[in-house]
């Protein structure tokens, strides 16, 4: 058993629902107890979908367990087929139905429905949402994309599929539009984008493309590898998030398509590189940022943070173990240790210990950052209603790079404001407890976060882990007071550095001198 407060991922059948809901003409019959219908609201409320997810739940109850739950399943499947008239049926079981072992696949076959019916094995006690989505997409592709492509007519344009966008994905809707536009500019046709928007017939047409674009490996990697084995379709695996990655993506796609990338690269039209180089952005240099999310978004964000905004990445992690190896390698390049966990409490501990100036994370890290009084921008699922903006806001492609710049820089205190806060600490209106002046409502959070006790209180004890010993350090009242004069957005770092310095020097009490010694020691 695993003690869980919040979860990053739902169960695998929710992943299957994300595929079914993203596609057209698909219906999913889920053997599940009463209550599992809660999952509908993820789609209708968070994503504001104007239609129910195409899912029929058998919603059996305790009194049904003694009778015939298999019959309930068959009735539900037959009724759903008649009512919704799908081109493709999916059948599966949620965690409780898995235990009663009714074999939805066998029951569905016995109904002899006149459309393809795919049975999903979703081991709820081993796997999670992303795995369930990837498995479902793979089974659909494997089940339907069975015909080898017809020979290509002479002079036909190069074409590709865009794979991986689902319902409830982080900005998938706009990423697909942006990347489709980019590929079209290169002279590449998009044969099929799937699963989002695809029909069963579209899936059958997948092998006709020259290559695949794997936009979200968490969802599409398994299917893309099968397509490559089966039909020799190569895949573009660079994730076009950030300016440089988008350029690399363009070159990679152009190479596979046999087209010239230069016209697109020379006319990218992105503001991002200049915004980053402009003198106003100088104050972004070396901001300490913690990055956490799904592996794909976290790794891409870490690179953008370091190389395109000039931040310092002080922590990197992901919640999905399937891509842990890649994240570890990426973290090693950045000189940090990767945090691979789905334990929300551990992520919180890590952020609190690292004292970053900005958190790039999921909605979970947004909560953590709010509690700690640290600015935060969301870069990855799990999603929240705010992650479905009304406006066009991709995070991929050249426009996506612009969006990343704005959304990551916006939560920070602006450059000149930083200087004023540093110089005039005791201004009654304009002080750091008030938070960034262009963002409202931060004062209370800052107070709630309580980074430090009042200066006049007794010396503060701090625990510092140094090598394998834990030392208890005391802050002198004078040093505590001096620390409070450092603006909040760097105070955490100053405190941490000073304590590390004191631990290394074997100091028992931190004096004002130790504070400034530490400052010069860690000067960058």
Tell me the catalytic residues. 280
Phi, psi of 56 (to 5 degrees): -110, 125
**Least distance between other proteins and beta carbon 116 (Å):** 23
Using the minimum distance from each CB to other proteins, give the nearer residue, 131 or 311. Answer: 131
Exposed / middle / buried, residue 333 (Cβ in 10 Å: 0-12, 13-18, 19+) = middle
**Least distance between other proteins and beta carbon 225 (Å):** 25
Q: What is the DSSP letter of 385?
A: G
The Cα-based distances of 304 to 261, 272, 351, 516 in angstroms read 22, 11, 20, 33
**Least distance between other proteins and beta carbon 403 (Å):** 23
Using the minimum distance from each CB to other proteins, give the nearer residue, 221 or 387. Answer: 387
Q: How far apart are CA 510 and CA 271, in angstroms?
A: 46
With beta carbons less than 8 A apart as the criterion, state whether 259 and 323 touch: no
Phi, psi of 294 (to 5 degrees): -70, 160
Using the minimum distance from each CB to other proteins, give the nearer residue, 5 or 523. Answer: 5
**Least distance between other proteins and beta carbon 322 (Å):** 16
Angle, helix 397-409 to helix 243-257, in steps of 10 degrees: 170
The CA-to-CA distance between both ends of the chain, in Å, stands at 46
Using the minimum distance from each CB to other proteins, give the nearer residue, 42 or 313. Answer: 42
**Least distance between other proteins and beta carbon 344 (Å):** 10
With beta carbons less than 8 A apart as the criterion, state whether 111 and 198 touch: no
Residue/partner pairs of 417-421 with CB below 8 Å, 24 or more apart: 418/283, 418/487, 418/489, 421/487
Interface residues with other proteins (CB under 8 A)?
Answer: 1-7, 9-11, 13-14, 33-42, 44-45, 48-52, 56-62, 64-65, 76, 79, 83, 94-96, 99-100, 123-126, 128, 363-364, 367, 370-371, 384
Using the minimum distance from each CB to other proteins, give the nearer residue, 11 or 487. Answer: 11
Tell me how many degrees the CA angle 334-338-343 measures, rounded to the nearest 5: 150
With beta carbons less than 8 A apart as the criterion, state whether 301 and 245 touch: no
Using the minimum distance from each CB to other proteins, give the nearer residue, 45 or 465. Answer: 45
Q: What is the DSSP letter of 383?
A: P
With beta carbons less than 8 A apart as the criterion, state whether 326 and 299 touch: yes
Using the minimum distance from each CB to other proteins, give the nearer residue, 45 or 433. Answer: 45
What is the 3-class SS of 230-271, one letter each residue? HHCCEEECCCCCCHHHHHHHHHHHHHHHCCCCHHHHHCCCCC
**Least distance between other proteins and beta carbon 372 (Å):** 11
Using the minimum distance from each CB to other proteins, give the nearer residue, 133 or 163. Answer: 133
Secondary element (H or E) of residue 214: strand 211-214
Q: How far apart are CA 146 and CA 135, in angstroms?
A: 17
Please give the structure tokens belonging to residue 486.
């450092």
β-sheet with 460-466: strand ranges across: 460-466, 469-475, 509-510
Using the minimum distance from each CB to other proteins, give the nearer residue, 234 or 370. Answer: 370
Q: How far is CA 440 from the centre of its chain?
A: 26
Picking from 86, 95, 102, the residue whose alpha carbon sits closest to that of residue 20 is: 86
């Amino acid at each position: 058993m695993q003690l869980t407060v919040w979860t990053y991922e739902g169960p695998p059948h929710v992943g299957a629902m994300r595929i079914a809901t993203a596609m057209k003409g698909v219906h999913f019959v889920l053997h599940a107890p009463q209550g599992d219908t809660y999952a509908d609201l993820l789609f209708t409320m968070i994503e504001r979908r104007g239609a129910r997810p195409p899912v029929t739940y058998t919603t059996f109850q305790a009194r049904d367990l003694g009778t015939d739950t298999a019959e309930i399943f068959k009735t539900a499947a037959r009724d759903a087929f008649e009512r919704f008239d799908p081109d493709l049926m999916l059948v599966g079981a949620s965690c409780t139905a898995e235990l009663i072992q009714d074999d939805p696949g066998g029951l569905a076959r016995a109904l002899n429905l006149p459309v393809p019916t795919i049975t999903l094995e979703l081991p709820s006690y081993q796997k999670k949402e992303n795995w369930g989505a990837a498995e479902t997409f793979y089974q659909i592709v494997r089940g339907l994309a069975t015909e080898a492509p017809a020979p290509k007519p002479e002079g036909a344009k190069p074409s590709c599929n865009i794979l991986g966008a689902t319902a409830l994905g982080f900005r998938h809707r706009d990423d697909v539009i942006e990347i489709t536009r980019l590929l079209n500019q290169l002279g590449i046709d998009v044969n099929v984008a799937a699963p989002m928007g695809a029909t069963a017939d579209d899936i059958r047409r997948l092998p006709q493309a020259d290559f695949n674009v794997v936009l979200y490996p968490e969802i599409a990697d398994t299917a893309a590898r099968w397509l490559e084995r089966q039909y020799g379709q190569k895949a573009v695996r660079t994730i076009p998030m950030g300016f440089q990655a988008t350029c690399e993506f363009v070159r990679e796609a152009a190479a596979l398509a046999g087209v010239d990338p230069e016209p697109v690269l020379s006319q990218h039209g992105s503001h991002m590189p200049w915004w980053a180089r402009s003198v106003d952005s100088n104050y972004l240099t070396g901001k300490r940022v913690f990055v956490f999310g799904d592996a794909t978004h976290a790794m891409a964000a870490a690179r953008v943070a370091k190389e395109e905004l000039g931040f310092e990445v002080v922590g990197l992690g992901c919640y999905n173990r399937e891509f842990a190896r890649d994240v570890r390698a990426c973290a090693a390049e950045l000189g940090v240790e990767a945090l691979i966990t789905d334990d929300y409490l551990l992520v919180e501990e890590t952020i609190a210990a690292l004292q970053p100036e900005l958190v790039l994370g999921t909605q979970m890290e947004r909560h953590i950052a709010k509690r700690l009084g640290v600015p935060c921008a969301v870069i990855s699922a799990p999603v929240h209603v705010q992650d479905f903006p009304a406006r066009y806001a991709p995070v991929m492609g050249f426009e996506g790079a612009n969006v990343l710049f704005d959304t990551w820089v916006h939560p920070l205190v602006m450059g000149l404001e930083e200087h004023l806060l540093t110089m005039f600490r005791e201004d009654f209106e304009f002080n750091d407890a008030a938070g960034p002046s262009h963002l409202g409502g931060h004062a209370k959070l800052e107070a709630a976060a309580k980074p430090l006790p009042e200066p006049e209180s007794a010396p503060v004890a701090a625990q510092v882990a140094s090598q394998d010993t834990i030392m208890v350090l005391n802050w002198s009242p004078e040093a505590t007071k001096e620390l409070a004069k450092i603006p909040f957005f760097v105070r955490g770092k100053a405190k941490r550095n000073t304590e590390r310095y004191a631990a290394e020097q074997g100091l028992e009490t931190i004096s004002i001198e130790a504070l400034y010694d530490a400052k010069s020691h860690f000067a960058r």
